[in-house]
Amino acid sequence: MELKRIVLGVTGGVAAYKAAELARLLVKSGIDVQVVCTRAALHFVGAATFQALTGHPVFTDLWDERVDNGMAHIDLSRGADAIVVAPASADFLAKLVQGRADDLLSTLCLARDCPLLVAPAMNRQMWENPATARNLAQLLLDQVSVLGPDSGDQACGETGFGRMLEAEELIEAMVARFQPKRLNGLKVLVTAGPTYEAIDAVRGITNSSSGKMGYAVARAALEAGAEVTLISGPTCLTPPRAARVINILGAQEMLVAVEKEADNVDIFISVAAVADYYVLNPSEQKIKKDAHILTLELAPNPDILANISSRQKPPFCVGFAAESENLEEYAELKRRRKHLPLIVANDVKEAVGAEEVQLILLDETGRHVLQKADKLTQARRLISHVAQLYNTHYQ
């Protein structure tokens, strides 16, 4: 399901300022946003701010005369894909559990016919209070999606859980909520990024992989309901929030990490651009520059994917083939050599560092072209294909 229209509920709390940024980013993404505030929320962010950001008037009153039939509590949620309450105060969570409907926002939530998502925001002691814990447990039983909270510095000067997620994290979690759960209950292992092979204390051999494709695949697998472990080489990227992340540096370190995890996963997707060679005798100190030619002795790194796919009972293995020529020919040879059910071929000249890529999926049935799109879109398409193959041959 694609989010096209949401009702954004805003309750009273300092985190209401984040709701303004959330509204801005949602509108920027092409989503129609209707804001409904509690009266307390307007003490923190004015209605004019939300109206300017969304292009719609803000509603706060059950008896608003702008709704002709006096049914704002019904009309505002009809046609919406979801109601998202961010921030959701401790008081408002309690209202939802009790089924109270004493203002427009709580009445909207009670009279809705669409999913309800809440992003809690409160002081850490309020979050840790047994009453809040009971309310959250009941909301989950009532099929309300709870997004966050996070841990960190709070406006009260204390530190702990209760911070509302940042706007970007909320959007990621919202989108994930509506993706098809094709991998529900499965465990997925993803490698991403480059590896780094040391020459000396400050220099090394690496490549220009950004890690974006691997991180996108990890996020898409999470969206599809999988439990994801991401083994990442050095990148500047923020990993998906729900992924378990193992950071490594070199290929040997990645091999150890993959071998440790592979027995406990259903699917292994090897996206990382692993260096083919490592330096046999790296210097512990910085090599001083002089007029002589520096000669390095290189040895081949292990083939991580081949090591896993050749096991007696391997997980469902997916490889990536980044080639500069004879793309499909070399990719198919690699797939057959490593006994892979699926390999993803991409032109290295076009893919490395790019925001959009074309991918070609090669499996036992032939080739499947994924026309150029952003990497997250391609990752979702890939995960859909992986799920189809896995469910056909491994279930």
Phi, psi of 157 (to 5 degrees): 95, -5
37 is catalytic: no
| 159-163 vs 150-153, strand pairing mode | antiparallel
Residue 277, strand partner residues? 300
Q: Which of 37, 156, 236, 317 is catalytic?
A: 156
Dihedral angle over CA of 115, 164, 139, 144, nearest 10: 10
Are residues 309 and 338 in contact, defined by beta-carbon separation less than 8 angstroms?
A: yes
CA dihedral 142, 183, 168, 93 (to 10 degrees): 10
- Hey, is 323 helix, strand or coil? strand
* CA–CA separation, 374 and 372 (whole Å): 7
Closest CA to 189 of 125, 287, 263: 263
**DSSP collapsed to 3 states, 170-187:** HHHHHHHHCCCCCCCCCE
What angle (nearest 5°) sits at the alpha carbon of residue 247, between those of residues 241 and 253?
150
Give me 279's structure tokens: 């330096």
Q: Sign of torsion, CA 121 126 128 133?
A: negative
The DSSP 8-state label assigned to residue 363 in this structure reads E
Any idea which residues carry the catalytic annotation?
156
